[in-house]
Amino acid sequence: NAGVTQTPKFQVLKTGQSMTLQCAQDMNHEYMSWYRQDPGMGLRLIHYSVGAGITDQGEVPNGYNVSRSTTEDFPLRLLSAAPSQTSVYFCASRTGGRNTIYFGEGSWLTVV
Amino acid sequence: KNQVEQSPQSLIILEGKNCTLQCNYTVSPFSNLRWYKQDTGRGPVSLTIMTFSENTKSNGRYTATLDADTKQSSLHITASQLSDSASYICVVSDRGSTLGRLYFGRGTQLTVWP
């Protein structure tokens, strides 16, 4: 049981480039989400999914796309990277109610 | 507006000492409150989860309390160790949807000195 796996761990992009952050979980959780964490701020929700084929926007969705073709995978796509997207990104999964939220180890993204 | 406020922002204590971190929230309707520990360069890891009816929850040297009337929670760390140096994040969930929306505090950065 690997939990939540994120790749890559570190990435440097040039402004305007696109890339995909990968996230996979092996716990059969229906709920998956992407957060970004910036210095001095709490984790902010980018996009989330409540099951395969269902996604919705969080509080900071602009510049990001997601899809959920399987229960296990929830990739985050940066369409045209901007320096404002320099951040640490966390993928998380959980079931409903009071169950534990499991976070990935994070992806450090720098846009120059 | 639903918010989660944590205090202090940062804290330095000596190894072996106790400390208490605070979390105040305005999230309504309340579902549950979680404390997470985030080591530098790592993802957050769950410490405790409490619902409305629970006012104390322990996990080893970590004890969380919840006062749902005043909308306050605290995380007490006993006999601190160097490995306790981390950011501690309070997360509150509402009951507005099936899975509940999560509201994150900004965290308290704890440093334990030898």
Q: List pLDDT tens digits, range B10-46.
A: 999 999 999 999 999 999 888 899 999 999 999 999 9
Instruction: Give A63's DSSP letter.
Output: T
- Are the beta carbons of B107 and A45 separated by less than 8 Å? no
CA distance B32 to chain A (A): 6
Tell me the longest C-alpha to C-alpha distance in chain A. 40
Q: Do A42 and B106 touch (CB under 8 A)?
A: yes
Lowest-pLDDT range of A1-5, A61-65, B88-92:
A1-5
Beta bridge partners of A45: A35
Count CA atoms closer than 13 A to A50's CA, side-chain side: 9
Q: Go through A31-48 and write b for each residue having 16 or more CB atoms within 10 A of its CB, e for each that does not.
A: bbbbbbbeeeebbebbbb
pLDDT per residue over A62-112, tens digit each? 999 999 999 999 999 999 999 999 999 999 999 866 678 999 999 999 999
Q: Inform me whether the pLDDT recorded for A1 exceeds 70.
A: no
Residues in chain B: 114
Neighbours of B104 (CB within 10 A): 21
Asked if A106 and B45 come within 8 Å (Cβ–Cβ), the reply is no
Render pLDDT for B48-70 as a digit per residue (tens, 0 to 9): 999 988 999 999 999 999 999 99
Report how many Cβ contacts below 8 Å link chain A to chain B: 51
